[in-house]
Amino acid sequence: MKRFVRVATNDGPRVGRLLDGQIEVLDHDEPLCAIAGAGAVAYRMDVTDARLLAPIHAPEVWCAGVTYERSRDARLEESQEGVADAYALVYDAPRPELFFKDAQMRRTVGPGCAIRTRSDSRWNVPEPELAVVLGERLEPVALTIGNDVSSRDIEGENPLYLPQAKIFAAACAIGPALAVPTDWAAPLEIALRIEQGDGTVIFEASTSTAGMRRTLPELVEWLVRSNPVPPGSVLLTGTGLIPPDDFSLQPGQIVQIEIEGIGALRNPVGPAT
């Protein structure tokens, strides 16, 4: 895969091509243009010397839900009586669950920055997801990693509380790179690891996008249907990895999501806001 990152420089954010441990820093900060091949190389730097930013300043971030069987089962388990039917039905329905997550990166952070939880929730979890970046014609042009941090107790109480369970300060992370696959249909392995501050692993699991109920083009087509989504927006495509029910994110922990060909998105957990 071709991979692109955004780095902090003395001249502001810049896009760079990631090649063999080095970044070819381009003369602009337009990820969609870089994917299309535009821009000259200004200089090169080692990845270890770079401060990586979110790989795109997305005008909007959207999410798809219940796209894996494991996600459906988790929704059924967390939901109170009378709520579960909604999630059981949407898994097999033609129309997917789509919801708004963020605008203008107000609630989204990049690699190394703190994700956060809701102060009025007792059950907060990361949701590791493959994410799709939309191009100028609202077609998929790149992939990245997304973390849809969620408050499961709030969502399970009532489906009308979904925005409150999903939309809050630093409830989303994307990065570290934008990857342009040669085969969009090829399944990708997704690995989640949650550590204590001292590096002790407290949860570890993996899955594959082969288990997705819907295809990436299908989800994108539904997202842009009668919906003026701006180019550069990001769609998180659902999770198949759910920590155990007795787990909730705590300050000081570290969440790492790794997807082959894209990289590893690593974020500390900060205090609730």
- Give a yes or no: residue 273 inside a domain: no
Domain end position, chosen among 53, 70, 94? 53
- Give a yes or no: residue 243 inside a domain: yes
User: Do 190 and 230 lie in a common domain?
Assistant: yes
Query: Three-class SS of residue 26?
Result: strand
- Give a yes or no: residue 109 inside a domain: yes
- Residue ranges making up the domain that contains 15: 2-53
Percentage, residues of the chain above pLDDT 90: 85
- Give a yes or no: residue 81 inside a domain: yes
pLDDT digits (tens, 9 = 90+) for 26-53: 999 999 999 999 999 999 999 999 999 9
Nearest to 97 by CA among 106, 105, 109, 88: 88
pLDDT tier at 85, thresholds 50, 70, 90:
low
User: Do 107 and 40 lie in a common domain?
Assistant: no
The token pair at 195 is 């550590």
Could you give the number of structural domains in the chain? 2
Is it the case that residue 258 has pLDDT exceeding 80? yes
The token pair at 58 is 């997305």
User: Do 38 and 112 lie in a common domain?
Assistant: no
User: Do 48 and 76 lie in a common domain?
Assistant: no
Q: Report the CATH number at residue 195.
A: 3.90.850.10
User: Do 65 and 180 lie in a common domain?
Assistant: yes
